[in-house]
Amino acid sequence: MLQTDLTKLLGIRVPIVQGGMQWVGLPKLVAAVSNAGGVITALTQPSPTALRHAIRETRALTDKPFGVNITLLPTINPPDYEGYVRAAVEEGVKIFETAGSNPGPLIKFFKSRGCLVIHKCTTIRHAESAEKMGVDILSIDGFECAGHPGEDDIGGLVLLARAAKELKIPYIASGGIANGQGLAAALALGAAGVNMGTRFMCTVESPIHENIKQKIVQSTERDTVHIFRTLHNTARVFKNKVSMEVVAIEKRPGGAKFEDVRDLVSGQRGRLVYENGDPDFGIWSAGITVGLIDDIPTCQELLERMEREAEGIIGRMSSLVTPRTKL
């Protein structure tokens, strides 16, 4: 059994967190990740009231710890963040995953209510800032991750080594992890555990269409692409007809404005990908771990396999150390 600061703080068995994923982090999946840390994605729910129902549904499915993700998005018409936060706290949620811009007030509120906060960062400087704000755990997201990897293009190997050197609180690794090798590597680099998104999309309990799961299984690490690079809001998504059209528009002389691609990147189109199973219908997030995924297990099977693999690797690594001989 692997015991780390993450398992102790969250009261979970396996040091793995299922990260917040738009349209994916629903009660069935969150409850299935019961031996690790499942996270409900607040903004997937259409309203704070719907979030309350999702929390109650998850609690009815598992007695294990789970959290709620609140991501602060740059948008003209922001969601009712206050309502979502209030709903989750009033429903007794004690673990929150935060991400996005200016998380200070949100972190302060959660800490004032005795909640544990995991904050996602793509740079060490942002991690140090969040550390000063009082977060309990940091999620360090490398360039390999799905969604927004930041603008510095730093891979997880370097980010995690820097985190070990600079941070004083526990951190978990996010991006590029889908098996026991990744878990063992993250622990070796000083992480207290890992955060996975794309890998959990491709499980039996994942709410997305079977066609999309099969598409992930068939894909390689070359089947993702970055969009919004020229808009300085980089996002890694699955490489399909729509995402490549967005990239082509961004490459036009003079660049592109968000209005030029608004209809192509609509969140509702992305949601329908998961519902209808057409991988080319819209934009959908995927990390380069698609190249490591070749099956669709239950969450329990996945977690047990990763735990077993990581324990085996760690055990074999210790055998590499032999007594030193004098030169």
Which residue ranges make up each domain of the chain? 5-207+295-307, 224-285
What Å distances lie between residue 31 and 44, 55, 129, 189, 212, CA to CA? Answer: 16, 10, 32, 29, 21
pLDDT interval class at 325 (50, 70, 90): confident
Q: What tokens were used for 322?
A: 């032999």
What's the mean per-residue pLDDT of the chain?
93
As a whole number of angstroms, the distance between CA 255 and CA 211 comes to 34
Percent of the chain topping pLDDT 70:
99
Cβ 279 vs Cβ 215: under 8 Å: yes
pLDDT interval class at 62 (50, 70, 90): very high
pLDDT interval class at 327 (50, 70, 90): low
Secondary structure E strands in the chain = 16-18, 38-41, 66-72, 95-100, 116-121, 137-141, 171-174, 194-196, 224-227, 235-238
Lowest mean pLDDT among 3-7, 115-119, 149-153, 171-175: 149-153
Span 162-175, average pLDDT: 97
CATH class, range 5-207+295-307: alpha beta
Q: Comparing C-alpha atoms, which of 21, 11, 4 is closest to residue 172?
A: 4
pLDDT interval class at 215 (50, 70, 90): very high
pLDDT of residue 165: 97
DSSP 62-126: -SS-EEEEEEE---SS---HHHHHHHHHHTT--EEEEEES--HHHHHHHHHTT-EEEEEESSHHH
pTM for the whole thing? 0.92
67-123 residue pLDDT tens: 999 988 766 678 899 999 999 999 999 999 998 878 888 899 999 999 999 999 999
pLDDT of residue 76: 64
Cβ 91 vs Cβ 52: under 8 Å: yes
pLDDT interval class at 47 (50, 70, 90): very high
260-299 residue pLDDT tens: 999 999 988 999 999 999 999 999 999 999 999 999 999 9
Percent of the chain topping pLDDT 90:
82
